[in-house]
């Protein structure tokens, strides 16, 4: 498994398991736990979740799936913006740790920018770090202006990661945000890297997938992972999807592949608001 090295020297696997939309239906819980366990059995060692997902149930699912493997897993969760005051961040983290059945998070993110001052949230993150409750902290859904604001508060430069929407059909971060994160050594976590499903039916993806003897999803994920300092966290609840996604690690896209994908999914030609869905 390739890794990305954070500012503090910690190495993070480039491929993880996402849990957005997990925990929303009781009837799906067993399949969701099984999918995460399968990913871990196949060697994935990063799981991303949030207190928002299923209002905490996704974290419970992750805690169940990890079992005795916690020490080998890079675990990420996120705090709701409305909980992200200094005191609220501390309390929210404790609740997440309890649901996840662990004593620490490897990375704790502000899910998106809300009404609480960034300085308060950072104070909470720094306190959690000093207490050993989290190893690193970061943000999610932050655009260039948001990162500039974060850099202006005390200890804001300690931000380790920015989790944003990034896939072939949503390339807006390539205009300025991606380069800014790379220059500041802020790891980019690409969520929803497969889009909403329709993307995978595009002929260009199918043709390249046939060339590499894999599913279109593996091509789409390999395309995201071509970028320096970028990791990705696709969600899958079906065993065949878990296996298909992991094959992205073996796909090496050549210049012809990348040119064909640029033609089918053009890069941005101007600045645009950060996509979140």
Is 74 in the active site? no
3-state secondary structure 28-66: HHHHHHHHHHHHHHCCCCEEECCCCHHHHHHHHHHHHHH
**Residues 107/73, Cβ–Cβ less than 8 Å:** no
3-state secondary structure 109-121: EECCCCCCCHHHH
The region that residue 229 occupies, defined by phi over 0 for left and psi between -120 and 50 for alpha, beta otherwise, is: left
**Beta-strand runs (E) in the chain:** 3-5, 11-13, 46-48, 74-79, 105-110, 134-140, 161-165, 187-191, 230-232
Q: Which of 53, 108, 166, 191 is catalytic?
A: 53
The catalytic site residues sit at 53
């Amino acid at each position: 498994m390739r890794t990305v090295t954070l500012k503090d020297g910690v190495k993070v696997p480039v491929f993880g398991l996402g849990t957005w939309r997990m925990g929303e239906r009781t009837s799906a819980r067993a399949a969701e736990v099984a999918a995460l366990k399968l990913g871990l059995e196949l060697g994935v060692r990063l799981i991303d979740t949030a207190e928002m997902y299923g209002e905490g149930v996704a974290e419970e699912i992750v805690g169940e799936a990890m079992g005795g493997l916690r020490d080998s897993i890079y675990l990420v969760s996120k705090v709701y913006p409305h909980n992200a005051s200094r005191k609220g961040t501390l309390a929210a983290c404790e609740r997440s740790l309890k649901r996840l059945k662990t004593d620490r998070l490897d990375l704790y993110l502000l899910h998106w920018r809300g009404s609480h001052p960034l300085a308060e949230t950072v104070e909470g993150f720094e306190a959690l770090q000093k207490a050993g409750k989290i190893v690193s902290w970061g943000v999610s859904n932050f655009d260039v202006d948001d990162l500039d604001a974060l850099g202006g508060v005390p200890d804001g430069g300690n931000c380790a990661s920015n989790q944003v929407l990034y896939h072939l059909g949503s390339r807006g971060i390539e205009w300025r945000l991606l380069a800014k994160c790379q220059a500041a050594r802020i790891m980019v976590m690409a969520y929803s890297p497969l889009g909403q499903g329709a993307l995978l039916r595009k002929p260009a993806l199918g043709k390249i997938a046939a060339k590499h003897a894999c599913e279109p999803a593996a091509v789409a994920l390999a395309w995201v992972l071509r970028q320096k300092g970028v990791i990705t966290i696709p969600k899958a609840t079906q065993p065949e999807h878990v296996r298909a996604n992991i094959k992205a690690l073996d796909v090496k896209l050549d210049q012809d592949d990348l040119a064909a994908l640029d033609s089918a999914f053009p890069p941005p030609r101007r600045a645009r608001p950060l996509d979140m869905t």
